[in-house]
Amino acid sequence: MKILVTGGAGFIGSAVVRHIINNTNDTVINVDKLTYAGNLESLESVCSSDRYFFERVDICDQSEVARIFAQYQPDAVMHLAAESHVDRSIDGPAAFIETNIVGTYVLLEVARSYWKDLSESKKKSFRFHHISTDEVYGDLEGSEDLFTETTPYAPSSPYSASKASSDHLVRAWRRTYGLPTLVTNCSNNYGPFHFPEKLIPLVILNAVEEKPLPVYGKGNQIRDWLYVEDHARALYKVATEGEIGETYNIGGHNEKQNIEVVNTICRLLDELKPRASGSYKELITFVTDRPGHDLRYAIDASKIKRELGWAPQETFESGVRKTVRWYLQNLKWARRVQDGSYQRERLGKIA
């Protein structure tokens, strides 16, 4: 297969690209605008493959997206390109509306035009897989409740509202035009190559620099944590084996309070890179909570296990240990992201 992956230089997208190149015979066309969160260094292990192609293109640029479809003739689309940081969406929602809603619309329209002109056999096998988030569901009130594929949408932030909008567009293009789409909604991802503004890498990197470890409120927000390589396996399985028109929730079966996550990281760092004195827990600092902060997310991932046979391979304990070790061994990568040098150098090379 030839798979067009949007956002393939991002955290989850790069994991998907690495998975496809390393574990299948498929070809990947990586389409990424290379915003601050896009990092081609995350793809150094696969970029020399003759089955990997990169196009620096904004998915809102309809003519360029159409050129890519015409040039590469993809058999499937895996749409991951998105603005995804909640705090940034609160400070500046416009970019989220543009990329997550308008960009998805452009991609759907180009895909629809391309798909309707395919041969009948190609039409039947083509699929458009839209990757979304559990944040579209809002938050859960009961301690035993879980998000299912039929949970009503109730987004709380500009980010989650923009992703909910894109989900609705994808389903509407399926219902109205017959475009063969699938949707997945995932829980919080973590793992190697995660942009340092996110909780887990931020805590690791702040800790080794002896900086405060910021925790919103009391740290009692609950998230289901999904190791990114487990997610990549699930996404490929849905893209290649999922039922057209279906939605699949993907979760890690690892509900943790944020403060638990931070304490676990501190414990691992105490073991793997001890401070001169005391524990990293002494650096924990509680800060004012985020506006509209959802308290609990939790995924019911029984459908994807039942219908496609996928289940996470990593527990939170095994996955977060791998993650802490990776960051300790790749501090140079993290520092280059933090100081912006990864961006300046890669833009110079592309130009």
Bigger pLDDT: 302 or 346? Answer: 302
Q: Report yes or no on 120 lying in a domain.
A: yes
Mean pLDDT of 288-312: 91
Q: What is the DSSP letter of 270?
A: H
CB 222 within 8 A of CB 296: yes
Mean pLDDT of 307-332: 97
Q: Report yes or no on 185 lying in a domain.
A: yes
Would you say residue 333 has pLDDT above 80?
Answer: yes
Give how many domains the chain has, as a whole number.
Answer: 1
Q: Which stretch of 258-262, 270-274, 333-337 has the lowest confidence by average pLDDT?
A: 333-337
Confidence of residue 141 (pLDDT cuts 50, 70, 90): confident
Catalytically annotated residue among 52, 105, 114, 159: 159
- Listing DSSP states for 200-267 in one string gives HHHHHHHHHTT--EEEETTS--EEEEEEHHHHHHHHHHHHHHSPTT-EEEE--S-EEEHHHHHHHHHH
Would you say residue 142 has pLDDT above 80?
Answer: no
Catalytically annotated residue among 32, 134, 229, 230: 134
Mean pLDDT of 34-60: 95
Q: What does the alpha-carbon distance between residue 208 and residue 259 come to, in Å, rounded to a whole number?
A: 18
Q: Report yes or no on 217 lying in a domain.
A: no
pLDDT the model gives residue 344: 64
Would you say residue 136 has pLDDT above 80?
Answer: yes
Catalytic residue status for 114: no
pLDDT the model gives residue 351: 38
Catalytically annotated residue among 55, 58, 135, 224: 135
Residue among 104, 82, 71 at smallest CA distance from 10: 82
- Provide the whole-model pTM: 0.93
Q: What does the alpha-carbon distance between residue 87 and residue 82 come to, in Å, rounded to a whole number?
A: 14
Mean pLDDT of 234-261: 96
Domain at 179, CATH number: 3.40.50.720
CB 314 within 8 A of CB 190: no
- Look at strands 181-186 and 247-250 and give their pairing: parallel
Would you say residue 280 has pLDDT above 50?
Answer: yes
Would you say residue 350 has pLDDT above 70?
Answer: no
Catalytic residue status for 159: yes
Mean pLDDT of 226-245: 98
Residue among 320, 193, 225, 339 at smallest CA distance from 263: 320
Q: Report yes or no on 211 lying in a domain.
A: no
pLDDT tens digits, residue range 59-116?
Answer: 999 999 999 999 999 999 999 999 987 888 899 999 999 999 999 999 999 999 999 9
Q: Report yes or no on 290 lying in a domain.
A: no
Half-sphere exposure of 149 (CA within 13 A, CB side): 13
Residue among 49, 39, 51, 50 at smallest CA distance from 8: 39
Domain that holds residue 182: 2-193+226-254+295-315
Q: What does the alpha-carbon distance between residue 330 and residue 315 come to, in Å, rounded to a whole number?
A: 22
Q: Report yes or no on 157 lying in a domain.
A: yes
Would you say residue 144 has pLDDT above 60?
Answer: yes
Q: What does the alpha-carbon distance between residue 271 and residue 350 come to, in Å, rounded to a whole number?
A: 41
pLDDT the model gives residue 169: 98
Mean pLDDT of 176-195: 96
Strands (E), 120-166: 127-133
Q: Report yes or no on 46 lying in a domain.
A: yes
Question: Percent of the chain, pLDDT > 70?
Answer: 97
Work out the mean pLDDT of the chain and round it to a whole number.
Answer: 94
pLDDT the model gives residue 115: 98
Q: Report yes or no on 137 lying in a domain.
A: yes
Q: What is the DSSP letter of 93?
A: T
Mean pLDDT of 302-313: 98
Per-residue tokens: 206? 């702040």
Would you say residue 267 has pLDDT above 70?
Answer: yes
